[in-house]
Structure 1
Amino acid sequence: MTVIFIVAHAPLASALKACVWHVLGCDPHIQAFDVEPDECASDSAPRLAASIFESAQGQGALILTDLPGATPSNIAVAASKLLHSQGVSSHVLGGVNASMLLKAINYRNAALDVVIEKALIGATQAVLRVD
């Protein structure tokens, strides 16, 4: 099963986890990593990588982040590189939204590439005008 981590500007990661819990009505078994304003990638990435490594237990990890190129994204990318050096397959997707997260959760038992594909579809199909 793919391990799912949300890495985002505080308090967005925790808020997305709470939102998914609300929608599903149960613990979604994902991890939230809120990045505080004074955090930097070089300090936080090893801590994030260690947490993912412990959770993944040899399985793949999907790291969802809010803004590509921003500090949470940089932390996620640096952590992913550390995980790869430890033999853990991980990938980072930017632009996380609730639909992306729900799709990833619903397909987390599939191969990591399938989880990534479904998450991207969920994210893009949810962006539309509704009025």
Structure 2
Amino acid sequence: MKDFKALENLLAGYLHEDWRDEYESAWSAIRDFALSEPTHAPALGAEVHDLLERFSDEDDAVVAQFLTSDLGLGYAAEADGWGSYREWLLAVADQVDELLRGQPPEPPDRPRSGSAQV
């Protein structure tokens, strides 16, 4: 299995089960990750795409299980209005990329229409 160090760093380190105690929103945690992890943040987009390609034929429950059980995610994307973890991960990768380019994005409060599919 491919090593997802950046993704695991974000999920287990910033969006762990107690993330609400440290951040006002998941997007605040994602912003903190993007601005505080110069080694991991630039690699996140590629890892998200690699992960989604690996699970391309799987349903979202399998992706969610991998994110929570193997990578330490404590955030519930679907409970926050996202249609799927795939959609949410693509939005996270976009958000981190925008922050790294120095373009502070507006955090999406719902899934983006027309999100790229992997």
Class of the TM-score when normalised by the shorter of the 2 chains: 0.3 to 0.5
Greater fraction helix: 2
Larger radius of gyration: 1
RCO (CA 8 Å, sep 6+): is it higher in 1 or 2? Answer: 2
Indicate the structure with greater strand content: 1
TM-score, L = length of structure 2: 0.33
